[in-house]
Amino acid sequence: MRLLDILFYLLKNNSKTTIKELSERFKVSTKTIQRDLDKLSVLGIPIITYRGVNGGVDLDRNYIIAKYILTDSDYESLILALYISENISENIKKSFLIDKFTLVDSDRCSRILNNLKEKLIIDLYENKFSTENKICNEINKSLDNKFFVELEIEGSKVEVFPISYVLKKEGLCLYCCDEEYKLILIDKISKAVECKKRYYGTIISYIDNKKIAKFI
Q: How far apart are CA 41 and CA 139, in angstroms?
A: 37
Neighbour count for residue 140 (Cβ, 10 Å): 17
- pLDDT for residue 63: 59
- pLDDT for residue 104: 67
161 and 177 in contact (C-beta within 8 Å)?
A: yes
197 and 207 in contact (C-beta within 8 Å)?
A: no
pLDDT in tens, the chain (216 residues): 677 788 778 877 767 888 888 889 888 898 888 888 888 888 777 888 887 766 788 877 665 555 445 677 887 888 899 889 988 888 878 777 788 777 767 788 888 899 999 999 988 887 888 888 899 999 999 999 999 999 999 989 999 999 999 999 889 999 999 889 999 999 999 999 999 899 888 899 999 998 889 998
CA 33 distance to own-chain centroid: 20
Count of residues making up the chain: 216
What's the burial of 192, exposed, middle or buried (CB within 10 Å: 0-12/13-18/19+)? buried
- pLDDT for residue 65: 53
2-59 placed in CATH 1.10.10.10: yes
- pLDDT for residue 53: 66
Assigned CATH topology for domain 134-215: SH3 type barrels. (2.30.30)
